[in-house]
Amino acid sequence: MKKRNISFESLCIHDISDDKNKSHQLPIYATSSFEFDTLKEGIDVFTGEKEGYLYSRYSNPTINAVENKIACLEGYDLDVEPFGIMTSSGMAAISTLCFALCSSGDSIITQEDLYGGTTQYFEKVMAKYGINIIYTDLNDNDTLYKIIEKTPKTKLIYIETPSNPTLTCIDLRALSKIAQHHKIQTIVDNTFCTPYIQRPLSMGIDYVIHSTTKFINGHGNGISGIIVGKDKVSYEEISRAMKLIGTNSNAHDAWFVNNGIKTLSLRMNQHSSNAMELATYLDAHPKVEIVNYLGLSSHNSHQLAKQQMSHFGGMLSFAIRGNIHDASTFVDKLSFCTIAPTLGDVDTLIVHPASMSHMNIPKEIRERNGIPDTLLRASVGIENIDDIIYDINQALS
Ligand SMILES: *Cc1c(COP(=O)(O)O)cnc(C)c1O
């Protein structure tokens, strides 16, 4: 059902629905199961002889429409049509995909600065099943080659670009070339970018996962995730894992995601232009020591971001001069921006990584990864930029 002839922005807006009642908007199928007219029909649907829905843990028309939509967006510039499998959360997408692809004894190569939940899943869950996790700098090709040579059972390279909260980018084209050469599969967590800004499948990556809780939903009213891939053979295996582990999404959260996608391009444009203005303001402020924003030419990944992303996105981080107490005073003085441990919503959200998202990581490792006690992360919203800057300015003074 791919609509190749229309632009990305229009594809976001138009629903791909075959509702027989011709509902203009995507209907919410609030049902756990689907009925059959005859036992024969039931058997045919169960065996796959006939197309149809059975039970909403397996599949549901609302969820199905949204997974197809996101798959079309991630595969917008591909010849093949990818598949999408929605999950109950971003973590469910990551864990379902890794469980489906890995066996005990396999290794996963990844980076140190991952989303905290992902690192903990690797360390506290995957490690128990005999899956070996190797952390390295994924932009350092020489070291990567050496690790791959020493580790014959490398199954996956797991990537997050740009990373949280310093926004370091990984060169996806270079990495996918190395991985393909060694027959290693690649996964990109594309949560920070959305397919409007970055499309890893078009750069040779095998799978994309999202916390659709964030920018794709955009309004902070549900928890959900998605796995997108282009290999139909692996679809069966991953979809089976989703059904049997029970990490399915639900029609209500899927519907919220669908509603959010309609304004994805408008929102990402505004997130990006507001973030650029805020970064420029912070960069010139005497009380600000460091600004990490991909749109600033001073950022280490600025050039790479220009090559593989269409915009610089809505995420930035900055370190204020002083100590941890100055950082907490700043946060407490904010009155317009919200202190909340999520990102990608339409309003501006601030976190203090050292005491929130990265509190379990020892100070020494945090500092090595560019997260001093005085660092703050902003998910810049789409409000009027003057209100955002006014609030940050008063909190800084
Ligand atoms: C939030 C987030 C996740 C986890 O997603 P949930 O929907 O909270 O399970 C994974 N990766 C990134 C980059 C995130 O920001």
pLDDT over 90, % of the chain: 90
Q: How far is the CA of 282 from the centre of ligand 1 (A)?
A: 27
Backbone φ and ψ of 21, nearest 5° = -90, 5
SS3 content of the chain, % helix, strand, coil (to 5): 40, 15, 45
pLDDT tens digit sequence for 232-272:
889 999 999 999 999 999 999 999 999 999 999 999 999 99
- Alpha carbon 102 to chain centroid distance? 21
Pocket-testing residue among 94, 98, 115, ligand 1, by greatest number of atoms within 8 A of Cβ: 115
Q: Cβ(60) to ligand 1 under 6 A?
A: no
> What stretch of H or E contains 320?
strand 315-320
pLDDT band, residue 4 (cuts 50/70/90) = low
Q: Cβ(254) to ligand 1 under 6 A?
A: no
Q: What average pLDDT does the segment 193-216 reach?
A: 98
- Alpha carbon 218 to chain centroid distance? 12
Beta bridge partners of 209: 189, 227
Q: How wide is the angle at C-alpha 262 spanned by C-alphas 260 and 268, nearest 5°?
A: 75
Q: What is the pLDDT of the chain when averaged over all its residues?
A: 95
Which residue's CA is the closest to the ligand 1 atom numbered 7? 90
Q: How far is the CA of 95 from the centre of ligand 1 (A)?
A: 12
Q: Cβ(121) to ligand 1 under 6 A?
A: no
Other C-beta atoms lying within 10 Å of the C-beta of residue 161: 26
Instruction: Give the ranges where the chain is alpha helix by DSSP (H).
Output: 8-13, 39-47, 61-74, 90-101, 116-120, 141-150, 172-181, 194-197, 232-245, 251-261, 264-283, 302-308, 324-333, 363-368, 385-396
Token pair listed for 190: 């594309």
Give the separation between CA 394 and CA 281, rounded to whole angstroms: 13
Which amino acid, 343? Answer: L
Pocket-testing residue among 120, 214, 349, ligand 1, by greatest number of atoms within 8 A of Cβ: 214
Give 266's contacts (C-beta < 8 A, 6+ positions apart). Answer: none
- pLDDT at residue 226 greater than cutoff 70: yes
Q: How far is the CA of 213 from the centre of ligand 1 (A)?
A: 7
Q: Contact at 8 Å (CB) between 379 and 343?
A: yes
pTM above threshold 0.95: yes
Pocket-testing residue among 86, 113, 187, 191, ligand 1, by greatest number of atoms within 8 A of Cβ: 191
pLDDT tens digit sequence for 151-163:
999 999 999 999 9
Which atom from ligand 1 is nearest to the alpha carbon of 93?
9
Sign of CA dihedral 366, 370, 376, 380: negative
Per-residue CA distances from 201 to 229, 358, 379 (Å): 8, 30, 25
- pLDDT at residue 1 greater than cutoff 50: no
Q: Contact at 8 Å (CB) between 394 and 346?
A: no
Q: How far is the CA of 90 from the centre of ligand 1 (A)?
A: 5
Q: How far is the CA of 247 from the centre of ligand 1 (A)?
A: 15
Q: Contact at 8 Å (CB) between 61 and 47?
A: no
Q: Cβ(115) to ligand 1 under 6 A?
A: yes
Model pLDDT, residue 356: 82
